[in-house]
Structure 1
Amino acid sequence: MSRIDETIDFVPVRIAVLTVSDTRKLEEDRSGQTLVERIEAAGHLVAARQIIRDERAQIAEQLRAWCADPEIDVILSTGGTGLTGRDVTVEAHRDVYEKEIEAFSIVFTHVSMAKIGTSAVQSRATGGVANGTYLFALPGSPGACKDAWDEILLKQLDYRHRPCNFVEIMPRLDEHLRRK
């Protein structure tokens, strides 16, 4: 069963928060702020924060820039995961991924079903890895950000979480890029 092993030291990770919106400003960004507060409360570091328009190429460019930054371990984006014509965050993430974490969307849907029922089918939350960096695209509502963080990411980004977690395999995410 899932648990925190208190005999192991906590390892903070550096997390960038990207809000995708055509209309929000920083002072109105409730979803991004929700993530920032939870990241800091968990003991992690907010490495960067930005708001960007719903433009696939711009989103992918920002994701790639952050993936190339050695001071960023994880990228959380919020917004643009729905079904409308302007919702292109998932496509931008997939333009960047080397590997997709398919189970993230499955587990997120399971968590969402318990909160919002069948409305969970309208989310396309996704996760992946690129250049040794984890990327997660979350819906744009504060509630969905809370659910993703509280039920999945809080645990998986805690090095003490057992039986396994994302942090313990971070040093090996880019092993295919290193010389043998």
Structure 2
Amino acid sequence: MSHIDETLDFIPVRIAVLTVSDTRSFEEDRSGATLVKMIEEAGHVVADRKIVTDDRPLIRDQLKDWIADENVDVVISTGGTGLTGRDVTVEAHRDVYEKEIDAFGTVFTIVSMQKIGTSAVQSRATGGVAGGTYLFALPGSTGACKDAWNEILKLQLDYRHKPCNFVQILPRLDEHKRRK
């Protein structure tokens, strides 16, 4: 069964937060601020935080910058995962993924169904890996960010979480690029 192994030391990871919005500033960005607060409360490091507009190339370029940054282990974006014409965050994420974490979206949907019922079908939350960096795209609502963090990411980004977690395999994400 899933549990935290208290005999192990906690290993903080460095997380960048990206808000995708045409209208929000840092003062109005409740979802980004909520993610920052939860990340810090869990003992992780906020490596960077930015806001970009709903523009696929801008989102993709910011993701690539953080993927190339050795001081970023994880990127969490919020916003732009819906169904409207301006919602292009998922496409920008998939532009850079080397591998998609298919079950992330499924598990997020299961968590969301318990909170918002069939409205969960409108979310396209996604997760993936690129350049040894984890990338997660969450909806723009504060509630969705809390649900994804508390029910999935907080656990999977804790090295002590058993039977397995994202942190323990972090050093191996780009092993295919190393010389043998």
What TM-score results when the alignment is normalised by the length of structure 2?
1.00
Which residue does the alignment assign to 2:17? 17
State the 1:151 CA deviation.
Answer: 0.1
Please list the CA deviations of residues 134-165 of structure 1 after superposition, one character each: whole Å capped at 9, or x if unmatched. 00000000000000000000000000000000
Which residue does the alignment assign to 2:33? 33
Q: Which 5+ residue runs of structure 1 have no aligned equivalent?
A: none
State the 1:177 CA deviation.
Answer: 1.0
Question: Which residue type is aligned with residue 139 of structure 1?
Answer: P
Question: Which residue type is aligned with residue 21 of structure 2?
Answer: S
Question: Which residue type is aligned with residue 28 of structure 1?
Answer: E
**CA distance, structure 1, for counterparts of residue 172 and residue 4 of structure 2:** 22
Matched, 1:161 2:161: yes
Matched, 1:76 2:88: no
Which residue does the alignment assign to 1:135? 135
Query: RMSD value over aligned CA atoms?
Result: 0.3
Residue 129 of structure 1: SS of its match in structure 2?
strand
Matched, 1:179 2:140: no
Which residue does the alignment assign to 2:94? 94
Question: Which residue type is aligned with residue 41 of structure 1?
Answer: E
**CA distance, structure 2, for counterparts of residue 137 and residue 109 of structure 1:** 13
Which residue does the alignment assign to 2:116? 116
**CA distance, structure 2, for counterparts of residue 85 and residue 92 of structure 1:** 14
Please list the CA deviations of residues 72-92 of structure 1 after superposition, one character each: whole Å capped at 9, or x if unmatched. 000000000000000000000
Question: Which residue type is aligned with residue 56 of structure 1?
Answer: R
**CA distance, structure 2, for counterparts of residue 179 and residue 32 of structure 1:** 38
**CA distance, structure 2, for counterparts of residue 143 and residue 37 of structure 1:** 14
**CA distance, structure 2, for counterparts of residue 100 and residue 29 of structure 1:** 27
Tell me the matched-pair count. Answer: 180
Q: Which 5+ residue runs of structure 2 have no aligned equivalent?
A: none
State the 1:116 CA deviation.
Answer: 0.1
Question: Which residue type is aligned with residue 177 of structure 2?
Answer: L
Please list the CA deviations of residues 90-141 of structure 1 after superposition, one character each: whole Å capped at 9, or x if unmatched. 0000000000000000000000000000000000000000000000000000
**CA distance, structure 2, for counterparts of residue 103 and residue 178 of structure 1:** 27
Which residue does the alignment assign to 1:8? 8
**CA distance, structure 2, for counterparts of residue 176 and residue 97 of structure 1:** 15
Runs of 4+ in structure 1 deviating by more than 6 angstroms, as ranges, are: none
Which residue does the alignment assign to 2:46? 46
What TM-score results when the alignment is normalised by the length of structure 1?
1.00
**CA distance, structure 2, for counterparts of residue 5 and residue 92 of structure 1:** 36
**CA distance, structure 1, for counterparts of residue 146 and residue 118 of structure 2:** 18
